[in-house]
Amino acid sequence: MDPTIAARPVEFAAAAAAEPAPPGPAPLSGLSSLLVGGMIEAAERAWVPDTAIRAVMRGLMRRRLAEECAADPAARSARFTRLVEELRASPIARDTQAANAQHYEVPSEFFRLHLGPRLKYSSAYFATGGETLAEAEEAMLELYAQRAGLGDGQRILDLGCGWGSLSLWLAERFPYSQIVGLSNSHGQRGFIEARAAQRGLTNLRIVTADVAQAQFPLRGVHAGFDRVVSVEMFEHMKNYRHLFQRVASWMAPQGQMLVHVFAHPTLAYHFESRDASDWMARHFFTGGLMPSSDLFLHFQEDLCLRQRWWIGGQHYERTANAWLAGMDREREAILAVFRRAYGADQAERWFQRWRMFYMAVAELFGFEGGRQWGVAHYLFDKRG
């Protein structure tokens, strides 16, 4: 690593951010990749100020928009058509073990130390912009209940239940409902079950399974769900035709599914690790997909869209910045967790990587005032 790069972070960041984006999806040239790789190495060692890191991230976002032909409707349409065809020929999910390791088998202590009190590891909802993270978590959970028509006495599946923010909230809110959370993480299951026991909740079951392989009845849980709610899980999926078919088979005849995903209004693309600039895909989102707001409309053989909503990116920007602030407040406690999880020699680097991840999320969703990337909600009916 050339130490002069670390000594000139602002100049380097400004150059990277201002560099014209390439005309197509080709990866960086060898020299550009080397320079970006050097910047990433310096950033991971915390030699670069956050302002410079964020400036480089915004430059890479401008490059992404150019790569995806955001300004060329004909080219964008052709790329989208190819993507839909590719997804239809794909397995339901790819790289599930890598995604699990990157996020969901990280010790729960890390998330408890810096997320909100509900441990909602997804966008919160800041209705006025002045809410605390705790209030914004509750607001988004309330929004799910309203938009999905959730009520007491229903059988509800939380598909991809994470650390249990929604599952536990539903079990508390609707004591006569049967709540089932499905997660691909054994660590998450143990954590949620312990919290449910502490709160005396008896109407919640957590099952561990890969959604691409799961079949009900599963571990004593039967299908026939009145509602399915999935929060930021579909971005890890590929073949939505087969996924929707599978989920529809788990639903009651009049069942409905609410899906929350992050998305772009018009662009859909894979997160791929092609060169040094694809840091997010390599460390945090292997096998992931950025949906466009209308992507799921092309897979309605078994589920039919009833309604959809768009939430501006500023809500996720505020969420990620709150997580980042929480990490900085709890730095020493988190480093102790990371020494156990990643080893003493890697703890500082992983602390900074997680900080960079949250900065990337904040910059992505805050880009151009939150008007490029945001959050989409969809309500689907099961076809008769």
Q: What is the DSSP letter of 177?
A: S
E-strand ranges in 237-293 read 251-263, 269-270, 289-290
What pLDDT shows up at residue 39? Answer: 80
Residue with tokens 């080709």: 26
Sign of CA dihedral 367, 369, 375, 379: negative
Answer yes or no: is pLDDT of 172 > 70. yes
| pLDDT score, position 100 | 52
**Tens digit of each residue's pLDDT (9 = 90 or more) over 4-61:** 333 333 333 433 444 444 334 444 445 455 556 678 889 999 999 999 999 989 998 9
Q: pLDDT value at position 35?
A: 59
Record the tokens describing residue 287, joined without a space: 């096998």
Measured CA to CA, the distance from residue 136 to residue 152 in angstroms comes to 23
Tell whether 188 and 307 lie within a shared domain.
Answer: yes
Question: What CATH number should be reported for the domain holding residue 340?
Answer: 3.40.50.150
Report the sign of the C-alpha dihedral through residues 107, 108, 114, 119, in that order. Answer: positive
What CA–CA distances, in Å, run from 350 to 38, 119, 275?
Answer: 17, 20, 20
Query: For the segment 190-232, what is each residue's pLDDT rounded down to a tens digit?
Result: 999 999 999 999 999 999 999 988 888 888 889 899 999 999 9
pLDDT at 213: 87
Q: Do residues 87 and 38 share a domain?
A: no
The overall average pLDDT reported for the chain is 89
- Give yes or no: residues 87 and 111 share one domain: yes
For residue 378, give both structure tokens: 């969809």
135 and 170 in one domain? yes
- Residue 16: predicted pLDDT: 42
Please list, in sequence order, all residues whose beta carbon lies within 8 angstroms of the beta carbon of residue 73, skipping any fewer than 6 positions away. none
Whether residues 54 and 117 share a domain: the answer is no
State whether 11 and 150 are in the same domain. Answer: no
Q: How many domains does the chain have?
A: 2
What Cα–Cα distance (Å) separates residue 243 from each residue in 1, 116, 250, 296, 303? 45, 30, 11, 11, 10
* pLDDT for residue 270: 92
Q: pLDDT tens, 291-301?
A: 999 999 999 99
Q: How far apart are CA 273 and CA 100, in angstroms?
A: 17
Of 237, 370, 259, the C-alpha closest to 316 is 370
CA neighbor of 161 nearest in space, from 200, 126, 187: 187
* Minimum mean pLDDT range among 14-23, 273-282, 322-331, 340-349: 14-23
Three-state SS at 176: coil
Last residue of a domain, one of 12, 36, 67: 67
Cβ-based neighbour number of residue 3 at 10 Å: 9
Phi/psi for 289 (5° steps) reads -140, 135
End-to-end CA distance of the chain: 61
Least Cα distance to 330 among 355, 353, 356, 362 occurs for: 355
Same-domain status, 109 and 141 = yes
Is 1's pLDDT higher than 50? no
Q: What is the pLDDT of residue 101?
A: 56
What is the rounded (10 degree) CA torsion for 271, 272, 278, 279?
Answer: 70
3-state secondary structure 46-59: CCCCHHHHHHHHHH
Closest by Cα among 214, 236, 232, 231 to 99: 236
Which pLDDT belongs to residue 141?
A: 99
- Digit-coded pLDDT (tens) for 113-159: 999 999 999 999 999 999 999 999 999 999 999 999 999 999 999 99
Residue 245 neighbours by CB distance under 10 Å:
15
Domain end, chosen from 10, 45, 67, is at: 67
Q: Hey, what amino acid is at 178?
A: Q
Mean pLDDT of 314-321: 99
Pairing of strands 155-159, 178-183: parallel
Res 92: pLDDT: 95
Residues in the chain: 384
- Asked if 340 contacts 306 with a C-beta cutoff of 8 angstroms, the reply is no
Distance CA 355, CA 352 (A): 5
Token look-up 């912009």 returns 129
What pLDDT, in 10s, does the model give residues 244-279?
999 999 999 999 999 999 999 999 999 876 666 567
Q: Are 356 and 44 in contact (CB under 8 A)?
A: yes
Same domain, 52 and 99: no
The Cα angle at residue 27 between residues 26 and 29, in degrees rounded to 5: 110
60 and 189 part of one domain: no
235: nearest Cα among 295, 319, 314: 295
Q: Are residues 40 and 152 in the same domain?
A: no
CA–CA separation, 96 vs 233, rounded Å? 11
**Could you say which of 49, 67, 85 is where a domain stops?**
67
Do 178 and 321 have their domain in common? yes
Q: Which of 58, 137, 40 is nearest to 353 (CA)?
A: 40
Do 15 and 95 belong to one domain?
A: no
What is the H or E stretch that residue 324 is in?
helix 314-329
> What domain range is 63 assigned to?
1-67
